[in-house]
Amino acid sequence: MSSDRIIFSRPFRARQELANLEAVLNSDHSHGDGAFTASATAKIKAITEAPHALLTTSCTSALEMAGLLLELGPDDEVIVPSFAFTSTATSMALRGVTCVFADIDLATGNLDPASVAAALTPRTKAVVVIHYGGVAAEMAELLALADTHGFAIIEDNAHGLGGRWRGRPLGTIGTLGTLSFHDTKNVHCGEGGALLLTDEILMARAEIIREKGTDRARFLRGAVDKYSWQDIGSSYLPSELNAAVLDAQLAAFDVIQAGRHRVWDGYASALPDWAARNDVRLMTVPDDREHTAHLYFLRTPTEARRDDLISHLGSLGISAPFHYVPLDSSPAGFKLGRTPNPCVRSAEFSGTVVRLPLWPDLSDAQVARVVDAVTAFTV
Ligand SMILES: *Cc1c(COP(=O)(O)O)cnc(C)c1O
């Protein structure tokens, strides 16, 4: 058995990456919207069944585009989970909105619809929902609230490419969806992202916003004979170099997902007895959801024992980090947000969560080593 360090996450290498990169470098086209952008976009649309998809430079920039498309402004409030990555909130704050923090469900780490309902005001224009770990949030309740109160739902689907809720692909259930291709995510190109859209009119505007406010996309399709400044916008189009790597990764999507699910299933089948003996909560997936094996988490009864478990694993050469300092208690959260009800479960989740190493090439022997190390710990 190896005593090498087991790192938490290792970016996948797809077989075609180098050949694709070489093809771009040998062409005279490395700016965006070339053949690899088209090919990667088609693969994303096939996986997500989204009517429209646009590659972006990151999930953060896709969220910024969502804020622009929904015309969010200083009079608006956007509800975001307190237990979230910074981009989820800062992309909204960039539009001058007030971020209103809502709490999560302790079992899933996902936004609690009751907490959203309690945070609604006449100024609520959007709710950003994360499908934490690639397990769908409580979409039935959130869609019902959106129907009644008329807010938009933005799905920050950084974890959930290929996941489903009641058969519906994540990222296509709300008004707009975003994906991340950062190298810590299931599919990556170093840094990258995508915006998923179902609405024709939003799509027409999105491709202009993404291209510095111009109708260059229409020009490339031959629909206009020159392109010009049409609207506000920015530079959210990734280069062909990124798209070339992304296209190779997406071609290997099934291999990536099979590897990740093998590891996830390994943890899920080996840990329940130990968890029951030690009052530890394991990640669970409700029956009406297909998850993406983006991460495998467990929660200890206290923060002190969580920190002890992380040190114990560290001493055995295993990296198992926690994450997400609750946004409502972070410096920018105080300045740019409002917390109508204390987000106590976000704080508890953040204080007790551990994530185990998970990447597609983790061997069965390494999974067994992680399981042995975890189960040797008495909580
Ligand atoms: C990674 C991540 C992001 C940011 O993705 P980038 O592509 O790095 O901008 C946003 N939201 C969540 C939930 C994430 O995990």
- Whichever domain contains 164, its CATH number is 3.40.640.10
Q: Which of 251, 268, 300 is the last residue of a domain?
A: 251
Average pLDDT of the segment spanning 321-329: 94
Q: Which of 222, 251, 280 is the last residue of a domain?
A: 251
Rounded Cα gap, residues 230 and 175, in angstroms: 23
Cβ 58 under 6 angstroms from ligand 1: yes
Position 75 scores a pLDDT of 98
What is the pLDDT of the chain when averaged over all its residues?
97
Compute the distance from residue 66 Cα to the ligand 1 centre, in Å. Answer: 14
Rounded Cα gap, residues 52 and 65, in angstroms: 14
Please identify which residue in the block is written with the tokens 């009052």.
279
Nearest residue by C-alpha to atom 10 in ligand 1: 87
279-319 pLDDT tens trace: 999 999 999 999 999 999 999 999 999 999 999 999 999 99
H or E stretch at 79:
strand 77-81
Q: How confident is the model at residue 60 (pLDDT cuts 50, 70, 90)?
A: very high
The atom number, within ligand 1, closest to the CA of 60 reads: 9
List active site positions: 185
Do 246 and 300 share a structural domain? no
339-364 pLDDT tens trace: 999 999 999 999 999 999 999 999 99
- Structural domain tally of the chain? 2
Do 322 and 202 share a structural domain? no
The atom number, within ligand 1, closest to the CA of 191 reads: 7
70-86 pLDDT tens trace: 999 999 999 999 999 99
Q: What is the CATH number of the domain that holds 350?
A: 3.90.1150.10
Query: What percent of the chain lies above the pLDDT cut of 90?
Result: 99
In a domain, 6, yes or no: no
Compute the distance from residue 27 Cα to the ligand 1 centre, in Å. Answer: 31
* Domain hosting residue 336, numbered range: 253-375
Average pLDDT of the segment spanning 196-201: 97
Cβ 59 under 6 angstroms from ligand 1: yes
Q: How confident is the model at residue 205 (pLDDT cuts 50, 70, 90)?
A: very high
Do 234 and 117 share a structural domain? yes
Nearest residue by C-alpha to atom 14 in ligand 1: 158
Cβ 327 under 6 angstroms from ligand 1: no
Is the pLDDT at 3 greater than 70, yes or no?
Answer: no
Position 194 scores a pLDDT of 99
Do 108 and 162 share a structural domain? yes
Position 1 scores a pLDDT of 47
Output the pTM of the full model: 0.97
Cβ 193 under 6 angstroms from ligand 1: yes
Do 217 and 174 share a structural domain? yes
- Determine the straight-line distance between the first and last CA of the chain, rounded to whole angstroms: 25
The atom number, within ligand 1, closest to the CA of 130 reads: 13
Cβ 180 under 6 angstroms from ligand 1: yes
Question: CA 6 from chain center: how many Å?
Answer: 24
Average pLDDT of the segment spanning 212-234: 95
Question: Does residue 46 come out as left (phi exceeding 0), alpha (psi in the -120 to 50 range) or beta?
Answer: alpha
Closest CA to 210 of 198, 222, 193, 226: 193
Q: Which of 234, 251, 268 is the last residue of a domain?
A: 251
In a domain, 10, yes or no: no
> At 356, is the secondary structure helix, strand, or coil?
coil
Average pLDDT of the segment spanning 100-129: 98
Do 349 and 316 share a structural domain? yes
